[in-house]
Amino acid sequence: MPAEPTDTPIFRSPDTRSELLVLRRRYAWKLRAADAFNRMLCRVWYRYRRIGPCTIPRDGPAIVTANHTCSADPMMIYAGCGYRKIAFMIAQEFADVPVGGWFVRLIECIPVRRDGRDAAATREAMRRIRDGHVISIFIQGRIAKPGQDVRPKEGVALLALRTGVPVIPVHISGNKYRDGIFAGLIARHRTRVRFGPPVDLSDFGGSTEGDNVQRATERIWSAIQQLSSNPST
């Protein structure tokens, strides 16, 4: 068994049985069935393992952000947290994938245009946060090819500073890069996912002035990278 993280999480995760009981009470049968199928697929086909506890708060709004390694990444994050429904901000084409698009609609993901100027998607994300939901955004904005340095974008920090909600960093490793949505979904991975404690942005006071957004972005990105320093097995 892998060692627990050295950092003490702010939010304690329930065990798997408790997670499923909470999910069963909170969501409809379609979501329960999709969650069970996703967990099975991740564990059997993707050889998924969560290292340490999930640190997503059990109640209230939060932003979950991770590095982006393949098109199956949202499934990996979702498999790690059975007690909250997570709405991902995803590229528009993911919503149009057969079968997968059904799951995207079921968990109420927010499609985003690739041109980076989708104000409607940003407004919808802020509305969801105000309503107490959990949303997830891949901070790099797109899948990084092996050896490619894809710098983090500022959207996560901007939303976090404007809303003041916890930002939960996640690191994903062990996935194989495949060119194309479908290829990434059917590839056999050996996925490891680690959730970190919320990133402290309180010293910015919610201000987006000056270089605050850039500095907050770098802090969030650093928190994600630090999670990889304790290797998974």
Q: Which helix (H) or strand (E) holds 221?
A: helix 212-226
Q: Which residues contact 69 (CB under 8 A, 6 or more apart)?
A: 143, 144, 172, 173, 175, 177
Confidence band for 142, pLDDT divided at 50, 70 and 90: confident
Residue 45's identity, in one-letter code, is W
| Residue-level pLDDT at 14 | 41
Q: 1 or 202: which carries more pLDDT confidence?
A: 202
Say if residue 203's pLDDT is above 90.
yes
The C-alpha atoms of residue 194 and residue 231 are separated, in whole angstroms, by: 10
Q: Which helix (H) or strand (E) holds 217?
A: helix 212-226
Confidence band for 1, pLDDT divided at 50, 70 and 90: very low
What are the φ and ψ backbone dihedral angles of 104, each rounded to 5 degrees? -60, -45
| Residue-level pLDDT at 18 | 57
| Residue-level pLDDT at 230 | 59
* CA-to-CA separations, 23 to 9, 27, 215, 221, in angstroms, rounded: 21, 6, 36, 30
| Residue-level pLDDT at 9 | 33
Most confident of 31-40, 59-68, 171-180, 183-192: 59-68
Mean pLDDT across 12-34: 60
| Residue-level pLDDT at 209 | 93
Q: Which domains does the chain have, with CATH numbers?
A: 16-229 (3.40.1130.10)
Residue 174's identity, in one-letter code, is G
Most confident of 10-14, 26-30, 68-72, 131-135: 131-135
Q: 176 or 146: which carries more pLDDT confidence?
A: 176
Beta bridge partners of 138: 66
Mean pLDDT, the chain, whole residue set: 83
pTM of the full structure? 0.81
Q: 207 or 116: which carries more pLDDT confidence?
A: 207
Say if residue 98's pLDDT is above 50.
yes
